[in-house]
Amino acid sequence: MRVLLTGSSGWLGRHLAPRLRGDGRKVVGFDVAPGPQTDVIGSVADRALVDRVFAEHAIDAVIHAAALHKPDIARYPRQKFVDVNVSGTLNLLEAAVAAGASRFVFTSTTSLMISPAIREGQGEAAAWIDETLSPLVPRNIYGVTKLAAERLCRLIHDEHALPVLVLRTARFFPEEDDTHRALSGENMKANELLHRRLTVADAVEAHVAALERAPEIGFDTFILSAPTPFAREEAAALKADAAAVIARHFPDAAELYAARGWKLPGSIDRVYDASRAERVLGFRCRTDFASMLAALRRGDAFPVEHDADYASPALGFAAAIG
């Protein structure tokens, strides 16, 4: 299988490409920025280049992980998001159909499911977020364009029977959060394993599973996040006193956190439920909050990637986007 991997120089791509090659797959890395896993430098918004890559490399499968992301909102106008996230996705989908590709995996985001109301923490209970959440009201241009790209994936599948799986990934970036700085980066990432984070290693394995299962499934959308220990019935309690709920599930969590100078969340406003990916795709993240506590008990290394200085390699190649 010859796989076109867009975003190959990014955080996911640099981990995913070696994994795919290790399985014996031929990988053609495509990115606006150079990198050790990237073979073609350019933008997915360039239709002529996309068509040339498919023709020259006999592409049979696509993992489309390239995108402008939420932090890019401060750097690019909305039109760039449309060009890259929407038009670029359509370019790849149509090229895949023309080439007779056997499958297409689209890396999407749980961010498009977060409305302004959820973002602001409105309501008396944590929002329980699974694939049935409706209506979807993205709060920014990033979410709007990723949702539009998802709908193009569905349209192309319906019209041409191209197997497409959409993976709505929760957070797996290594850098500091760009909006919340009340906690240290490691403390915040540890907390997020309860309800809105996965490791990049788990994101990689989810994409491998999707690549394998796409022809069998046909079309579907999956939330990817570490399995939450909570039940939907605990949503109100999580909003009111998350630490008390955590203590019921993990009696020594507060003590382990205190030893490290960390704080448990006082309130949780949303929970991503990834159980459908386990039931239908057959994928479950290996690293969860229990893994984090086990590492703290043993004094092991932090099981979630954290790099306060990480920056996307695409930042130095803004001129290539478009």
Note the pLDDT of residue 318: 52
pLDDT digits (tens, 9 = 90+) for 248-272: 999 999 999 999 999 999 999 999 9
Report whether pLDDT(315) > 70. no
Average of per-residue pLDDT across 176-184: 77
CB of 193 closer than 8 Å to CB of 264: no
pLDDT digits (tens, 9 = 90+) for 279-305: 999 999 999 999 999 999 999 999 998
Beta bridge partners of 107: 167
pTM of the model: 0.95
- The SS3 call for residue 224 is strand
Note the pLDDT of residue 319: 44
Average of per-residue pLDDT across 102-123: 96
**Exposed/middle/buried for 227, CB within 10 Å: 0-12, 13-18, 19+?**
buried
- The SS3 call for residue 302 is coil
- Least confident segment among 47-56, 58-67, 269-278, 312-321: 312-321
Report whether pLDDT(320) > 50. no
Average of per-residue pLDDT across 124-149: 97
* Residue 313 pLDDT grade (very low, low, confident, very high; cuts 50, 70, 90): confident
SS3 of 32-89: CCCCCCCCEECCCCCHHHHHHHHHHHCCCEEEECCCCCHHHHHCCCHHHHHHHHHHHH
Return contacts of 91-95, CB within 8 angstroms, 24+ apart: 91/44, 91/45, 91/46, 91/47, 91/50, 92/4, 92/6, 92/44, 92/50, 92/62, 92/64, 93/152, 93/153, 93/156, 93/162, 93/164, 94/156, 95/47, 95/50, 95/51, 95/54, 95/59
